[in-house]
Structure 1
Amino acid sequence: MRLRPAFAAAAAVAVLVPGTASASPVHVATAHGTFAAYAPGAHAVTYRPDLVPPGARAHVFSLSGARTGTMTTLVVTGLRPGRAYGAHAHAQPCCATGDAAGPHFQHVPDPVKPSVDPAYANPRNEIWLDFTTDRLGTGFALSQVDWTFGSRRARSVVVHETHTHTAPGHAGTAGARLACLDVSF
């Protein structure tokens, strides 16, 4: 399990950074943190220590290129074993409450808020990183979308209570916001 994220990252680099002078620009974002209770300046916050214990860790790696879109990986350790979680890129950084991270980042924003229309709240228009932890509390997720960030960028990844729902009226919802990691996409 530990090598899978490294292999995914190496494969993405090989695809997104060809050895030619005509290669399109590539943007790399990485973030990691150890979850703790909120304190000013915190970059990895747990809001539900029963489901994301203090000391649990998260790592995000993202590559964006005009020819290939954006690939994002999430690796978590120290969470509750054998449990399904949702996770998404959010519009704002982490703060004292999970709601402060704002809505999911959408490449094409839904004009209706909150966004629960599957035409907008879907894994092609948002970065969805749902995972299920193994017996040790480790989880891994991969998102691949065909777009890159422009002047608007996601600012965090939020871990949610359940896998993401897809039905109309509930699309994009995944329960309570359990934890947040700042990411400079």
Structure 2
Amino acid sequence: MLKLHKSFTAGLFVACAALTACSGGSSQDHSMHGQNAGGDQAGGGMPMNMGDPNATPAKDVAGAQLRSGAFTLLPTRPPGHEQAAGTAWLAIHPGGTTATLEMTGLAPGTKYMAHLHAKPCSEEDGGGHFQFDPAGPEMPPNEIHLGFAADAGGRGFMTAENEKPAEAAKSLVVHPAEFSDNRIACADL
């Protein structure tokens, strides 16, 4: 019985090791705090740029055309977000676009997503996503997404960059990462 148990345990170990190696998994952190926020992938298996918390915030980009707006709550927000507030910044500069958001009053530890939108907040809560190419894919780099998680105090921050100027973007909309129809807040830019 002991011999059978050792064989089974060794076989299980080998099988688990093989599955890990073949799955393409890694120990890399795919949390919402990095450029690879949420582990989302663009076509071809390349990681999508969902923001970089260490990038220069939009309000600090030298020589940029800077737009900013305070977030206003939307009626589609899920329960528990009645105190959500913050500011969004959009910097248009020779290197492209930088978008930053800072928020408070979010659910601690919850993952969120923000997108630049094509309409102001007063029109259809920002309308659809802003896209550099309207016929292109609904993901970066054709769109600007900011993926982040609220800290233990309910604060969230993220900056995303794109090499193209997003001059026609009108607003930034935030929603829980898992529930894109539950828009929490919108900031006109």
Letter in 2 for 1:175: S
Structure 1 runs, 4 residues or longer, greater than 4 Å off: none
8 Å Cα contact 2:84/2:185 also seen in 1: no
Q: Name the counterpart of 1:170.
A: none
1:56 maps to amino acid: A
1:145 aligns with 2:162: yes
Mapped partners of 1:62, 1:11: distance in 2: 8
Query: Are the counterparts in 2 of residues 51 and 178 from structure 1 also a CA contact under 8 Å?
Result: no
Match of 1:102 among 106, 109, 127: 127
Instruction: Specify whether residues 63 and 142 from structure 1 end up closer, same or farther in structure 2 by C-alpha distance, changes over 3 A only.
Output: same
Structure 1, unpaired ranges of 5+: 18-25, 37-44, 111-118, 164-173
Aligned length: 138
Task: Find 1:176's aligned residue among 156, 167, 181.
Answer: 181
> Which of 112, 115, 119 is the matching residue for 1:85?
112
Identity of aligned residues (%): 31
Structure 2: distance between partners of 1:100 and 1:59: 16
Letter in 1 for 2:76: Y
Matches within 5 A, 1:153-172: 153-162=168-177
Structure with the bigger percentage of helix: 2
Q: Whole-Å Cα distance in 1 between the matches of residues 150 and 58 of structure 2? A: 23
> Is 1:47 paired with 2:76?
yes
CA contact (8 A) 1:73 1:142 kept: yes
How far does the alpha carbon of each residue in 1:65-123 deviate from its partner, in whole angstroms, 9 at most, with x for none?
12x11111111101111101111011112248xx542110001112xxxxxxxx52222
Tell me by how many angstroms 1:135 deviates.
0.6
Q: CA deviation at 1:46?
A: 4.7
Task: Say if 1:129 and 1:47 are closer, same or farther in 2 by CA, change over 3 A.
Answer: same
Question: Bigger radius of gyration, 1 or 2?
Answer: 2
The normalised TM-score by structure 2 is: 0.62
Cα drift, residue 47 of structure 1: 2.2
Query: Following the alignment from structure 1 to structure 2, what is the Cα–Cα distance between the partners of residues 11 and 86?
Result: 20
The offset of 1:11, in angstroms, is 8.6
In 1: Cα distance, 2:70 partner to 2:161 partner: 20
Structure 2: gaps (5+ residues): 1-52
Q: Aligned letter for 1:146?
A: E
Residues 122-141 of structure 1: per-residue CA shift (max 9 Å, x gap) = 22111101110011111111
Aligned-pair Cα RMSD in Å: 2.9
The residue that corresponds to 1:58 in the other structure is 86
